[in-house]
């Protein structure tokens, strides 16, 4: 229950800094039962702690951080370290936030790193704060949320260079921050899903690694990947002549990959996570809506098929009837099992049965 944030992923919320506002349809500063996604309405009375029939922002924040009658947080107090410069450049787009248990000197914890979405054109690390608050509230993990340079500022491969630099920085600072450097997992949504997928497959290539930051000799490998509806192969769906409903996605991809379409095509293969799959890649968990028109479901099946062919553990959960964003208690449960298995060594059976979104 403490991982309620996975249940609050709505099509509007995943790319916004304020998920409460994205659910508050009438903008009255409180949530009624009818505004809350149907899948989590049974939990409404647990979050509505004063029983007045509405969820305030304060009640909402307690719920997503694991403090509101959904089960006690076991990790004690958490420290929020803001705007840490992982590149040494002073660029705000190359900074990260950390949430660390205050008892971290007594016990190192696995790290989960969140990478925001926004079409590589928008979004910021603060979009992931509710996510990492929920992660650290369990007491089992340290967590980070990162910025990376957007396509208006820097073209590909700046974005993956930044993400890899952030992983190297966190691993190099593991003793200082109480991180178990051998267990780092990544979670990303949409454009962030693309970047975490490439963190999982694009290993040890100098062109992807880049030279950002002070820790070039530290590994940027991650131990598991949770990919929410991220693009994985730019040659399908995007760069061919698109149907009208795919035009927006194509424009974002071209802006990311080059100054014009010709340059974008030259960079497309190296920027596609599916192009880099090898047998030593990190385990994957991919969740994707079958009716997603921005990032078509075929993007999920492409990476899943390539991983399975290479002998890499891969779980693909089809969210039947869902578009670009969804909510599901069952998906929440499976993701927790996956992360605990690969970052905490807890054996689990993880179902890949489709989940229907009503």
**What is the average per-residue pLDDT within 231-258?**
79
**Does the pLDDT of residue 103 top 70, yes or no?**
yes
Pair (47, 122) in one structural domain: no
2: in domain:
no
Tokens 């409903």 map to which residue?
Answer: 245
Chain centroid to Cα 143, Å, comes to: 12
Inter-helix orientation angle 191-201/158-172, to 10°: 60
Question: Tens digits of per-residue pLDDT, 39-58?
Answer: 556 566 667 777 788 888 87
Residue 23's contacts (CB-CB under 8 Å, 6 or more residues apart) are 8, 10, 13, 31, 35, 36, 37
Confidence of residue 203 (pLDDT cuts 50, 70, 90): very high
Pair (256, 288) in one structural domain: yes
Supply angle C-alpha 130, 41, 59, rounded to 5: 45
83: in domain:
yes
104: in domain:
yes
**What is the average per-residue pLDDT within 19-28?**
78
3: in domain:
no
Pair (34, 147) in one structural domain: no
**Does the pLDDT of residue 65 top 60, yes or no?**
no
Percent of residues, the chain, with pLDDT higher than 70: 84
pLDDT of residue 8: 42
Pair (26, 143) in one structural domain: no
> Which of residues 24 and 69 earns the better pLDDT score?
24
pLDDT of residue 239: 66
Pair (118, 22) in one structural domain: no
35: in domain:
yes
Pair (112, 36) in one structural domain: no
Pair (265, 145) in one structural domain: yes
> Which of residues 358 and 293 earns the better pLDDT score?
293
**Report field, pTM of the whole predicted structure over 0.95:** no
Average pLDDT of every residue of the chain: 86
What is the distance between the alpha carbons of residues 92 and 42, in angstroms, rounded to a whole number?
40
Question: The domain containing residue 44 runs over which residues?
Answer: 8-64
72: in domain:
no
**Does the pLDDT of residue 182 top 60, yes or no?**
yes
pLDDT of residue 40: 59
Pair (174, 34) in one structural domain: no
**Does the pLDDT of residue 331 top 70, yes or no?**
yes
**Does the pLDDT of residue 181 top 90, yes or no?**
yes
Percent of residues, the chain, with pLDDT higher than 90: 61
1: in domain:
no
Count of the separate structural domains present in the chain: 2
Highest mean pLDDT among 62-71, 91-100, 327-336: 91-100
CATH code of the domain in which 37 resides: 1.10.238.10
pLDDT of residue 16: 38
What is the distance between the alpha carbons of residues 355 and 289, in angstroms, rounded to a whole number?
10
What is the distance between the alpha carbons of residues 232 and 197, in angstroms, rounded to a whole number?
7
What is the distance between the alpha carbons of residues 304 and 227, in angstroms, rounded to a whole number?
11
pLDDT of residue 57: 82
82: in domain:
yes
**Does the pLDDT of residue 13 top 60, yes or no?**
no
CATH code of the domain in which 282 resides: 3.40.50.1820
**What is the average per-residue pLDDT within 203-221?**
94
Is 109 in contact with 179 (CB distance < 8 Å)? yes
pLDDT of residue 357: 84
Pair (280, 172) in one structural domain: yes
**What is the average per-residue pLDDT within 123-137?**
87
**Does the pLDDT of residue 188 top 60, yes or no?**
yes
Pair (239, 326) in one structural domain: yes
Pair (138, 25) in one structural domain: no
Residues 242-264 as b/e (b if ≥16 CB within 10 A, e otherwise) read eeeebeebbebbbbbbbeeeeeb
Question: Tens digits of per-residue pLDDT, 277-315?
Answer: 999 999 999 999 999 989 999 999 999 999 999 999 999
Pair (60, 91) in one structural domain: no
Number of residues assigned to the chain: 358
């Amino acid at each position: 229950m403490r991982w309620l944030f996975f249940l609050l992923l709505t099509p509007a919320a995943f790319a916004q800094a304020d998920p409460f506002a994205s659910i508050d349809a009438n903008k009255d500063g409180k949530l009624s039962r009818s505004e809350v996604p149907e899948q989590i309405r049974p939990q409404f009375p647990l979050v509505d702690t004063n029983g007045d029939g509405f969820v305030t922002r304060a009640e909402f924040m307690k719920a997503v951080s694991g403090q509101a009658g959904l089960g006690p947080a076991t990790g004690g107090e958490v420290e929020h370290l803001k705007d840490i410069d992982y590149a040494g450049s002073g660029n705000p787009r190359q900074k990260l936030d950390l949430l660390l248990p205050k008892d971290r000197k007594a016990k190192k914890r696995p790290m989960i790193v969140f990478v925001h979405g926004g079409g590589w054109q928008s979004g910021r690390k603060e979009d992931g704060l509710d996510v990492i608050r929920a992660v650290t509230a369990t007491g089992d993990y340290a967590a980070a949320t990162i910025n990376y340079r957007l396509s208006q500022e820097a073209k590909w491969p700046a974005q993956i260079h930044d993400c890899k630099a952030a992983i190297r920085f966190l691993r190099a600072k593991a003793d200082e921050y109480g991180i178990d450097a051998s267990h780092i997992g990544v979670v990303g949504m949409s454009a962030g899903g693309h970047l975490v997928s490439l963190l999982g497959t694009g290993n040890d290539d100098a062109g992807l690694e880049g030279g950002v930051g002070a820790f070039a000799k530290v590994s940027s490998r991650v131990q598991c990947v949770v990919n929410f509806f991220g693009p994985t192969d730019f040659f399908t769906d995007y760069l061919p002549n698109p149907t009208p409903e795919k035009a927006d996605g194509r424009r974002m991809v071209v802006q990311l990959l080059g100054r014009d379409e010709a340059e974008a095509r030259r960079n497309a293969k190296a920027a596609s996570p599916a192009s880099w799959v090898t047998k030593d890649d990190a385990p994957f968990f991919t969740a994707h809506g079958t009716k997603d028109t921005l990032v078509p479901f075929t993007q999920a099946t492409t990476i899943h098929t390539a991983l399975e062919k290479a002998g890499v553990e891969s779980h693909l959960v089809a969210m039947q009837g869902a578009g670009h964003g969804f909510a599901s208690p069952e998906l929440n449960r499976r993701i927790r099992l996956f992360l605990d298995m690969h970052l905490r060594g807890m054996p689990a059976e993880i179902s890949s049965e489709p989940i229907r979104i009503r």
